[in-house]
């Protein structure tokens, strides 16, 4: 019977685990909804900014702006430093979500290093920072304060230093590694180059604007906003992606726990039945011996 | 004309309006319906949108204002105040 009691204990444990994972699934679902709303709400700003920059950028204007200019390669005396921003979540239990982001970041870092750059890594979120600390790689920034509600100000404080360093010609490029929120189930890790700014694809017909003061001055103001917004969106999408991944992971865990419980209960019942059968046959055997 | 007030986090106002007064970098600009395509940088101050007899006011800072095909987009870095996304 000792085995029976042990089985009972295991069933209890798995039932408790299932309770926890199911609760986490529900919490993740409701947080996913809110995070998703934020992703959608951030779209008009990004779109307006993109359209206007596309309207204003002309090839000859592009040469004037340090943020649009491509630096010389290191072999010709250009900057040898490149920056990578990695956005991960502060928490785990989301399957391979963070591991995938970290893998993408390492791939990009290796690429840059193979091209002869020294890479400085800016980490947002505890998981990414923790991994690279474990590898003893120094971090240029370690932001764990941003959490699940990134604001435009967070993004601004993150990129201000990078924009200044890029304008000063110290950085050759800045890449952002984040989770793209395609749907709650698809959140592929993505790398975008945020500096130099790729001017958004040109629209065919641009309105004949009255510009005050002039296209150059407006662009100068808007380009940093654009860079900031790309980072902001990356962070918001990563949060939504995280909850999507967590929900899936917790749903799988709950389903698994159910299967294990079913299996254990079956084993337990079979054993109980076997014990009873054995006892009965012992009694019957005993009685038969007495009668005989 | 259609007026949109947009901050990085969300669209704060979206609706029809009769006039807009916005704080541009060098002073207030007033926009009435059928304004020519126009673009300027925003400074800091109060943006007022008159719609249907009432006026919505927002404190805005940074960003830009764009008028194109009878749509005014006020895209500001910071927006504070009324939040009635109609």
Instruction: Report if residue A206 sits inside a domain.
Output: yes
User: Residue B35: inside a domain, yes or no?
Assistant: yes
CATH number, residue A157: 3.40.1380.10
Q: Which two tokens stand for residue A173?
A: 């490029």
> Which structural domain, as residue segments, surrounds residue B72?
2-81
Minimal Cβ distance to B9: which of A42, A52, A217: A42
Among B10, B11, B64, the residue with its CB nearest the CB of A222 is B64
Q: How many domains does chain A have?
A: 1
B39 found inside a domain: yes
Q: Is the pTM of this model over 0.90?
A: no
Does residue A182 fall inside a structural domain?
A: yes
- Answer yes or no: is B46 within a domain: yes
CATH number at residue B77: 2.60.15.10
- Report residue B86's pLDDT band, with 50, 70 and 90 as the boundaries: very low
Closest residue of chain B to A213, computed from CA coordinates: B40
Domain that holds residue A51: 33-248
Residue A159 belongs to some domain of the structure? yes
Strand partners, B16: B2
Please tell me if residue A212 touches chain B, with a CB cutoff of 8 Å: yes
pLDDT in tens, chain A (292 residues): 457 889 999 999 999 999 999 999 999 999 999 999 999 999 899 989 988 888 888 777 777 888 888 888 777 878 889 999 999 999 999 999 999 999 999 999 999 999 889 999 999 999 999 999 999 999 998 999 888 889 889 999 999 999 999 988 889 999 999 999 998 889 999 999 998 888 776 665 677 888 888 888 888 889 999 999 999 999 999 999 999 999 999 999 999 999 999 999 999 999 999 999 999 999 999 999 988 7
ipTM above 0.90, yes or no: no
- Does B86 reside within a domain? no
- The domain tally of chain B equals 1
Q: Is residue A263 part of a domain?
A: no
Specify if A104 maps to a domain. Answer: yes
Q: Is residue A15 part of a domain?
A: no
Q: Which residues of A touch B43 (CB under 8 A)?
A: none
Q: Measuring CA to CA, which residue among B42, B7, B6, B36 is closest to residue B21?
A: B42
Q: Which chain A residues contact residue B27 at CB under 8 A?
A: none
Name A193's bridge partners: A175
- How far B37 CA sits from the closest chain A CA (Å)? 5
Residue-level length of chain A: 292
Pairwise CB contact (< 8 Å): B8 & A229: yes
Residue A86, H or E segment: strand A81-87
d(C-alpha A37, C-alpha A25), whole Å = 18
């Amino acid at each position: 019977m000792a085995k029976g009691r042990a089985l009972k204990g295991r069933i209890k444990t798995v039932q408790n685990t299932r309770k926890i994972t199911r609760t986490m699934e529900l919490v993740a679902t409701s947080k996913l909804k809110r995070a998703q709303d934020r992703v959608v709400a951030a779209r008009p700003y990004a779109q307006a900014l993109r359209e206007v920059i596309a309207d204003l950028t002309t090839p000859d204007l592009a040469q004037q702006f340090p943020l649009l200019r491509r630096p010389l390669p290191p072999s010709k005396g250009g900057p040898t430093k490149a920056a990578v921003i990695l956005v991960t979540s502060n928490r785990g239990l989301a399957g391979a979500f963070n591991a995938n982001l970290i893998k993408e970041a390492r791939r990009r870092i290796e690429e840059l290093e193979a091209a002869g750059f020294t890479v400085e890594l800016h980490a947002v979120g505890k998981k990414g920072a923790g991994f690279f600390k474990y590898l003893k790689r120094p971090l240029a920034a370690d932001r764990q304060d941003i959490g699940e509600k990134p604001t435009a100000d967070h993004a601004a404080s993150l990129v201000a230093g990078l924009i200044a360093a890029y304008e000063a010609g110290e950085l050759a490029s800045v890449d952002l590694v984040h989770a793209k929120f395609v749907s709650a189930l698809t959140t592929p890790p993505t790398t975008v180059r945020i500096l130099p700014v790729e001017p958004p694809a040109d629209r065919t017909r641009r309105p004949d604007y009255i510009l005050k003061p002039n296209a150059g001055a407006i662009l100068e103001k808007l380009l940093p906003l654009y860079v900031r917004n790309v980072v902001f969106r990356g962070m918001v999408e990563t949060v939504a992606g995280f909850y999507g991944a967590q929900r899936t992971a917790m749903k799988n865990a709950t389903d698994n726990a159910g299967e294990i419980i079913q299996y254990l209960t079956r084993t337990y019942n079979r054993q109980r039945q076997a014990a009873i059968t054995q006892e009965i046959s012992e009694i019957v055997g005993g009685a038969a011996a007495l009668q005989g | 004309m259609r007026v949109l007030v947009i901050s990085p986090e969300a669209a704060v106002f979206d609706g029809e309006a009769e006039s807009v007064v916005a704080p541009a970098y060098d002073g207030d600009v007033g926009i009435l319906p059928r304004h020519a395509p126009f673009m300027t940088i925003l400074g800091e101050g109060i943006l007022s949108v008159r719609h249907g007899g009432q006026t919505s006011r927002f404190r805005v800072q940074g960003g830009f204002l764009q008028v194109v095909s009878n749509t005014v987009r006020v895209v500001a870095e910071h927006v504070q105040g009324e939040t009635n996304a109609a």
